[in-house]
Structure 1
């Protein structure tokens, strides 16, 4: 009787954990995680705004992320981008185990909000 037929995890036919292989997470999966994380922070979108999307490059256990967002105006654009950057890095790291040395937030478009519409008519 052969010991190879003993089944997985039993006997000498078992493969050591370090030799079983590796899990590779596709760039597009990391991009979806990053886009969802950005949506968590940006809150409700201004009328006519596209939802955030991301592009990712994964190499050597690190993910370089570029997030594209549209924001309402006026707003604290720098503060909002900082929150998006931190949230994306944290979520990608937590869900994939990848290092995230770089998150670039690119504001594609600013949308005037209702609050700014009233201010637009003022002169002063």
Structure 2
């Protein structure tokens, strides 16, 4: 009967590596921003088909994010952006294991409530 060949475990650094692409990190960030905006003040004014957009720059284990959002107005825009920033940072760090020292938020458009009988207006 043949003897089993002993299995030699390689150190983690020699077994391979996991690389999460920028595109995947951007999708996680955009999804997290959408989660945070779901209950945000003024969120009901933003059309349902409008979604946050994220771009990311990853170096080593650090991700720097830029979010493009459309928000409802009037609302405390600073508070909404701060909530989104914190939630996105938390989710990206948790799901990727990366450090997220920077989340820049750009408000691309504000949506206001339309008066009865009027089309939705956009504030630019």
Give the TM-score normalised by the residue count of structure 1.
0.78
Name the CA shift for 1:91/1:72 in 2 (closer, same or farther; >3 Å): same
Q: Does 1:62 align with 2:62?
A: yes
| Runs of 4+ more than 6 Å apart | none
1:121 corresponds in structure 2 to: none
- The question of whether the paired residues in 2 share the 8 Å contact of 1:49 and 1:111 is answered with no
Give the unaligned 5+ runs of structure 1. Answer: 119-124
Name the CA shift for 1:113/1:48 in 2 (closer, same or farther; >3 Å): farther
Cα distance in 2 between the residues matched to 1:15 and 1:55: 36
How many residue pairs align between the two structures? 109
- 1:22 Cα offset (Å): 1.2
2:19 corresponds in structure 1 to: 24
Give the TM-score normalised by the residue count of structure 2.
0.78
Larger Rg: 1
Comparing both structures, which one devotes a greater share of its residues to helix? 1
Q: CA deviation digits over 1:44-96, x for unaligned, max 9?
A: 45137621010000002100000110001101100000000000000000000
2:7 corresponds in structure 1 to: 11
